[in-house]
Structure formats: structure tokens, C-alpha cells
Amino acid sequence: MAFSTRNATRRFIAHTATSAATAAFLAALALPALAQTPPPPPAAATKAADAPARRPGGPDMQKRHEEHMAKRQAALKEKLKLTAAQESAWTTFTSAMQPGERPARPDPKELDKLTTPERIDRMRELRAQHTAQAERRDEAVKKFYTALTPEQQKTFDTEARHAGPGMRHGGPHGGPDHGKRGGPDDRPAR
């Protein structure tokens, strides 16, 4: 018995030593690859040129938003079955629902330079601008609504409810279509 235990121990030590030597050899082979400098990142000019299009609020996003809003407005107009006498009210309504000039986003570096009370005042100004825009659109909806027949008002109520905050405030967020690629008729029936 002592002989087989001694043999097993020797084989175990030999196997462990061989495995350790193999691992060390493979690690030594990998060192030069790890020591190589990584490839340079893409040129900064390329990144800078593409950045506005990819950035939220960039030209591509604005274009997609405008196309989406145009599709929604066309679908709404079709469902309302407007008369010729209502066309001017529709034009006024759709013009008022356009987002308008978006206030510049505050620069975080500039905000860092402000004291807390100054930063609060700056954010209060931005909220006041957003509120004024929302109220302007709310009034446009109310005015257009009065130009509709009772049947059209029911249709408008249904569509405005499905559109969520975007219908009331002209913004891209909210509603069952938010984030989908399809148009207004792609949402599931309720």
C-alpha cells in the first residue's frame, strides 16, 4: 500500500508541476500581446462631425420628430374630416403646435460657476419658458376645439387621449407611439 500511495503522490506532483509549467509558458507567450499599445481611436474630427447627428436633439432626431408629427397631424386631419370652412382653424392650430425655438440647454460648466441661488433662478427662467410654450399650445387646442362639430370633438378627444402629453404640449415624449418606428395607426386597438 505504501508503494501505491507514494506513486500516486509522485504522479500528482509531476502532473501539478507540468500544469504549472504549461500555464507559466502560456502566460509568458501572452505578455508581448498585452504589452502592445492599443490601436488609436478613430480620428477626433470624424467623431466631432458625427456627434450632432447622433446626439439627442441633433439634426437627425429633429428631422425624425418633424416627420412623425407631420404624419400624426395628417392622420388626425383625415379622421376629423374637416370642412373647407375649418381649414383656416386647422392651419392656425397646426402652426401653434409646432415646437418653436428650443431654448439653449444650460452649459453645465457655466452652471457650476453660479451660486446655488443663481442656479435656482436660471432653472426657474427655463421652467417659465417651457410653461409659456405649453400654455400657448393649450390655448391653440382649445381654440381649434371650438371650431369642430360635436362629432369631430369626440374624435379629437379620443385622438388627444391616445396622443398623451405630445398632443397637449407639442413635445416628442409620451403617448403610446413614443419610441416606436411606426406611425399613429401602428398602436394596438383599445
pLDDT along the chain (190 residues), means of 10: 68 76 70 63 56 61 84 91 93 86 78 90 90 91 94 91 56 44 48
Q: Is the dihedral of CA 162, 165, 170, 173 positive or negative?
A: negative
Place of cell 374624435: 155
Q: How many CB atoms lie under 10 A from the CB of residue 175?
A: 21
| pLDDT attached to residue 4 | 67
| CA–CA gap between residue 156 and residue 2 (Å, rounded) | 94
> What are the residue boundaries of the structural domains of the chain, listed by start?
105-167
At residue 38, the pLDDT reads 63
Nearest residue to 119 via CA among 127, 111, 107: 111
Handedness of CA 89, 90, 95, 96 (dihedral sign): positive
CA gyration radius, the chain: 32
DSSP secondary structure letter of residue 145: H
Provide the grid cell at 188.
Answer: 394596438
| CA–CA gap between residue 145 and residue 161 (Å, rounded) | 14
Residue in this structure with the C-alpha cell 500516486, named with its chain if needed: 8
- pLDDT of amino acid 15: 73
What is the pLDDT at residue 62?
78
